[in-house]
Amino acid sequence: MKDIIRVKCLLSTEVEALLNQQIKKEAQSSSAYLAMASWCNQNGYDFSSDYFFLQAEEERMHQMKIYKYVLDMGGSAISPEVTNIKIEYNSFKEVFEEALDQEISVTQSLKNIAANCYKEQDFVTIEFLNWFFKEQREEEYKARRALELFEVIGEEGTGRWQIDKNVGKIVYNSEA
């Protein structure tokens, strides 16, 4: 029966597996952002907490977008188990360093999927992934700008309060 289903699936076994890995990566990102939001909230960084709650929701949306794509293509989407989410941070800045590292990791993972799709000439999935590449430009931009606030404003005195206040105001302009 699996062979009959595979014939009807428009994804190769390898691309389907990579997309399921990406589903898990997006779920882990969403959970990591929730943990960051919680840490920020517990440490009095309310604006940053709100920022990370929004990021968590966005990652969940990315997860579902890929999940539905795999199903639409006749594949088997797998609901991932999420474990080993970091919940404690040594500093406010470390939270944002981890966020940037996470976004870079997501971008690299998407590039790996696209490379495999090019090899297999799976242009439909490449077209699907293009939306994510545009999204990652925005995500990495915002993560870098947030981290730059620590350098520009500094953490001394009311610095962390100013950083917290300005994190949610970072806007990506794709026209710039």
Q: Are the C-beta atoms of 21 and 109 separated by less than 8 Å?
A: yes
CA nearest 49: which of 104, 7, 96? 96
Q: How far apart are CA 81 and CA 124, in angstroms?
A: 28
Q: CB-based contacts of 116: which residues, under 8 Å, 6+ apart?
A: 14, 15, 18, 122
What's the pLDDT at 1?
A: 46
Q: Are the C-beta atoms of 65 and 57 separated by less than 8 Å?
A: no
Residue in the structure block whose two tokens are 């898990």: 24
The length of the chain in residues reads 176
Could you give the residue ranges of the DSSP H alpha helices within the chain?
2-8, 13-42, 46-72, 92-120, 123-153, 159-167
What's the pLDDT at 174?
A: 73
Instruction: Write the pLDDT tens digit of every residue in 87-146.
Output: 999 999 999 999 999 999 999 999 999 999 999 999 999 999 999 999 999 999 999 999
CATH fold label, 2-167: Ferritin (1.20.1260)
What's the pLDDT at 54?
A: 96
For the full predicted model, state whether its pTM sits above 0.85. yes
Q: How far apart are CA 33 and CA 116, in angstroms?
A: 28
Q: Are the C-beta atoms of 60 and 30 separated by less than 8 Å?
A: yes
Tokens of 63: 């997860």
Instruction: Write the pLDDT tens digit of every residue in 54-75.
Output: 999 999 999 999 999 999 999 9
Least confident of 17-26, 99-108, 153-162: 153-162
What's the pLDDT at 176?
A: 54
Strand, coil or helix: what is 33? helix
What's the pLDDT at 157?
A: 87
The mean pLDDT value for 140-167 works out to 92
Beta-carbon neighbour count of residue 47 at 10 Å?
A: 16
Domain borders along the chain are: 2-167
Tokens of 150: 């620590």
In percent, the amount of the chain with pLDDT more than 90 equals 84
In which band, very low, low, confident or very high, does the pLDDT at 5 lie, cut at 50, 70 and 90? low
